[in-house]
Chain A
Amino acid sequence: DTAVSQTPKYLVTQMGNDKSIKCEQNLGHDTMYWYKQDSKKFLKIMFSYNNKELIINETVPNRFSPKSPDKAHLNLHINSLELGDSAVYFCASSPLIAGPSYEQYFGPGTRLTVT
């Protein structure tokens, strides 16, 4: 069973379009995240979402908006796509409780290409 899943795996779209990436976790975790990995493999946090509390990385443009219908889902909606949005987007989840068992589990990634 897949712990953290994302759809679609690949997304090719044109500039100016609006698109969404879906993420689901079946681990019962309290917290979910979105990360962006650029062409140089640099990973950067975009959002953290825990119990309806959203923590935004202030460097993320407001064209990006996470939406969480429930604790198991955190979708990423992107408005007015730009060429620079091309990247691999990873969803992750983690339990809130600290301790040796804590880690973030990552999804398989969504490769977004904006043309």
Chain B
Amino acid sequence: AQSVSQHNHHVILSEAASLELGCNYSYGGTVNLFWYVQYPGQHLQLLLKYFSGDPLVKGIKGFEAEFIKSKFSFNLRKPSVQWSDTAEYFCAANNNAGNMLTFGGGTRLMVKP
């Protein structure tokens, strides 16, 4: 069965700390991977996505993620977080365009000023 798992449910960091959020997937065949962010009271916005090519993907707002096929992982990173990064982060996957996304359980990030 297709699944996406996020191991960190809640993360609390101070400003300027480095961030890494874990994401593992279980999918047959080719997989497309995404990270979405949901700021308090807002809808989901795409941070970055991976389809093929360079496994290190750079997204908006200084975020990046690395696709490691051998580990079935797509971890999200940011070298220095800001208070404004406080949000819920979702890893997601599908295996073809137009297919439904399978989401991980989300990670709630709180950045202390």
Binding site for B on A (CB under 8 A): 30-31, 33, 35, 40-45, 48, 50, 55, 57, 90, 94-100, 102-109
Contact = CB atoms under 8 A, between A and B. Distances in A.
Given A43-B90, A103-B34, A98 B96 contact: yes
Contact of B100 (A30, A48, A107): A48
Interface in B26-64: 32, 34, 36, 38, 42-46, 49, 51
Nearest to B106: A41
Interface in B61-113: 88, 90, 96-103, 105-106, 108
A44 B103 contact: yes
Given A30-B98, A99-B51, A105-B46, 8 more contacts: A31-B98, A33-B100, A35-B103, A45-B103, A50-B98, A102-B51, A104-B34, A106-B43
A99 B97 contact: yes
Overall SS of chain B's interface: strand
A97 B43 contact: no
Contacts of A105: 46
Contacts of B46: 103-105
Contact of A104 (B51, B101, B108): B101
A23 to B, nearest CB: 12
Interface residues of B, number: 24
Nearest to B42: A108
Interface of B: 32, 34, 36, 38, 42-46, 49, 51, 88, 90, 96-103, 105-106, 108
Contacts of A30: 98
Q: Which of B36, B44, B51, B105 has the most CB of A within 10 A?
A: B44
A109 B97 contact: no
A107 B43 CA distance: 6
B43 to A, nearest CB: 5
B71 to A, nearest CB: 23
Nearest to B105: A42
Q: Which of B32, B46, B88, B103 has the most CB of A within 10 A?
A: B103
Contacts of A45: 100-103
A40 B1 CA distance: 23
